[in-house]
Each structure stands twice: as structure tokens, then as C-alpha cells.
């Protein structure tokens, strides 16, 4: 079956098997290996991408279902050498350890922030509940999402607040 799909701003037309999963099409045909194959059962969220602007687990979507759609992968987020604000927040807040879940976490976080630009900690945890991380304990991931939200809305974010707190403790503030 022939599909036409725009991935990370580039249009592709390819013949695919009707049963081929979107995650395998992205990785094997297009070389988008930042989209990780985790569990193949849609439980972990490592394969999360955006399909027409909304996050989906690409291991639960057939490539033919993406025909005529726009897909954004983790590789398509950075612009002109600048990381997306959520990518930058994950870096700044040390919100990764092994990095396996990170692409899916970032993609889901962007979708979460599109729906709720100022989530509290509970909203972040609930918004990411379909994405699993076995390394970080989620504290830094939650902090990164809240930091990105603040920076994307023009605020300083939790990272700047922690710097201010550490300056006060060190005698640098009141």
C-alpha cells in the first residue's frame, strides 16, 4: 500500500506493508532512530511521536493510518540548532539517566503543555502516566516539565528558583 506522510517537515511517499507499525516505518525506512522501540505493546511510551500535533504511541499505530498526516519525531523538534524548550529543560534539570525513555517523555510533555500550559506537579504526573522511566524516579522529569512550562510562558521556572534559593543559602541573598 502506498502512503504519503510528512515527517519532521519532509514529505515521503513509500510503499508499506499494511501491517507495518509506524514506529518501524520511522526507524527502518526513514532512519528516525530517536523514536525508540520499547515494549511493542504500548505500555511504556518510549515510541511516542506527534501525529497531526497530538502524541501517539507509534507502536500502536499502523503506518497506513498515518497516510496524509504530519508526524513529528524527537529529531524534528530542534530548530536552527536550538533545542525545543522542553528538550532544553530536560537537559537543564537532569531529567534523564539512561535516556531510553527520554524521547517519548519529551514528546508526551510537549503534548501535555499544549493542553495545559501551566500544570502543577499532579497534572504533570497524570499527564505522563502512560510513559515509563526506570531510572530517574520522575522527580527531575516533573521538574523539567514545569520548568519548560514556566519558560515557555515567559517565567523563570523552577531551575531559576533553585538557583536563587542556593544563593540565599550561600549568603548571596536575603
Distance CA 93, CA 64 (A): 37
Average pLDDT over residues 146-159: 82
| Helix (H/G/I), strand (E/B), else coil: 121 | helix
* Domain limits for position 72: 2-76
- Together in a domain, 99 and 71: no
List residues bridging with 12 in a β-sheet. 5
> What CATH code is carried by the domain that includes residue 43?
3.10.20.30
Does residue 174 lie within any of the structural domains?
A: no
- Together in a domain, 70 and 101: no
- Together in a domain, 123 and 64: no
List residues bridging with 6 in a β-sheet. 11, 70
For 13-72, write each residue's pLDDT tens digit: 999 999 999 999 999 999 999 999 988 788 899 999 999 999 999 999 999 999 999 999
Q: Give the pLDDT of residue 40.
A: 76
Residue 35 and residue 27 in contact, taking contact as beta carbons nearer than 8 Å: yes
Among 76, 97, 132, residue at a domain's last position: 76
- CB atoms closer than 10 angstroms to residue 168: 11
- Together in a domain, 54 and 127: no
Does residue 104 lie within any of the structural domains?
A: yes
Among 50, 76, 102, residue at a domain's last position: 76
Size of the chain, expressed as the number of residues it contains: 174
Residue 174 and residue 165 in contact, taking contact as beta carbons nearer than 8 Å: no
For 66-95, write each residue's pLDDT tens digit: 999 999 999 999 999 999 999 999 999 999
42: Cβ–Cβ under 8 A, 6 or more apart, which residues?
57, 59, 60
> What CATH code is carried by the domain that includes residue 91?
1.10.150.120
Q: Give the pLDDT of residue 120.
A: 98
Among 19, 42, 76, residue at a domain's last position: 76
- Together in a domain, 45 and 104: no
Q: State how many domains the chain has.
A: 2
Q: Give the pLDDT of residue 158.
A: 55
| Helix (H/G/I), strand (E/B), else coil: 150 | helix
Whether residue 122 has pLDDT greater than 90: yes
Nearest partner of 89 among 137, 35, 132, 151, judged by Cα: 151
Q: Give the pLDDT of residue 65.
A: 98
Burial of 145 (0-12, 13-18, 19+ CB in 10 A): buried
Amino acid at each position: 500500500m502506498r502512503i504519503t506522510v510528512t515527517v519532521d517537515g519532509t514529505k515521503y511517499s513509500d510503499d508499506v506493508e499494511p501491517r507495518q507499525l509506524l514506529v518501524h516505518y520511522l526507524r527502518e525506512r526513514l532512519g528516525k532512530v530517536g523514536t525508540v522501540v520499547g515494549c511493542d505493546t504500548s505500555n511504556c511510551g518510549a515510541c511516542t511521536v506527534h501525529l497531526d500535533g497530538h502524541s501517539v504511541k507509534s507502536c500502536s499505530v499502523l503506518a497506513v493510518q498515518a497516510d496524509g498526516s504530519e508526524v513529528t519525531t524527537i529529531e524534528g523538534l530542534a530548530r536552527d540548532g536550538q533545542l525545543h524548550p522542553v528538550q532544553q529543560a530536560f537537559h537543564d534539570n537532569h531529567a534523564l539517566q539512561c535516556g531510553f525513555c527520554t524521547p517519548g517523555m519529551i514528546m508526551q510533555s510537549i503534548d501535555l503543555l499544549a493542553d495545559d500550559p501551566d500544570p502543577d506537579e499532579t497534572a504533570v504526573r497524570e499527564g505522563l502516566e502512560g510513559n515509563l522511566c526506570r531510572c530517574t524516579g520522575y522527580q527531575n522529569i516533573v521538574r523539567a516539565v514545569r520548568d519548560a512550562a514556566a519558560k515557555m510562558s515567559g517565567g523563570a521556572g523552577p531551575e531559576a528558583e533553585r538557583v536563587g534559593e542556593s544563593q540565599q543559602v550561600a549568603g548571596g541573598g536575603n
